[in-house]
Amino acid sequence: MTNGPVLTENAPMPIGPYSQAMRSGNMLFISGQLGIDPTTNEMGNDLTRQTELSLSNLLSIVEAAGGRKGSIVKTTIFLHDMDTFTDLNKVYSSFFEDHRPARSTVQARLPKDALVEIEAVAVLRP
């Protein structure tokens, strides 16, 4: 088990002085992920696509650290407009299916005028 930063090309590279994620013991703290396609570096054109990409980026980082979707225990969602909460929930519930991490959602102005940003905490097997 290696403590320290986690980096994968399957998620967007950091755009500032931070890591995609930091591992500490069996805990993984994943930085907020915008809905950016890591292969094109383009942001999705609507909330649904941005949410799909954000969740996919989170999962790619978790998998790079040796985890899986079920390893995610907490998410924090930053949403540009709380009026789109129902649309977000449709994508989110489809992605997580029966797995239900703890979650907080707040309205915020986001980098690159994104519509959604999601960060997470995961517990990895030792």
pLDDT in tens, 68-125: 999 999 999 999 999 999 999 999 999 999 999 999 999 999 999 999 999 999 999 8
pTM of the shown model: 0.96
What is the per-residue pLDDT across 28-80, written as a single tens digit (0 to 9) for each? Answer: 999 999 999 999 999 999 999 999 999 999 999 999 999 999 999 999 999 99
Q: Which of 47, 41, 55 is nearest to 92 (CA)?
A: 55
User: Confidence class of residue 25 from pLDDT cuts 50, 70 and 90?
Assistant: very high
**Residues of the domain holding 73:** 4-123
In the prediction, which pLDDT does 1 show?
62
Domain count of the fold of the chain: 1
Mean pLDDT of 17-22: 97
Beta strands in the chain (DSSP E): 4-6, 21-24, 27-34, 36-37, 42-43, 72-79, 102-107, 116-123
d(CA 72, CA 75): 8
Q: And the tokens for 81?
A: 């407009």
In the prediction, which pLDDT does 2 show?
80
CATH number for the domain that contains residue 33: 3.30.1330.40
Average pLDDT, the chain: 96
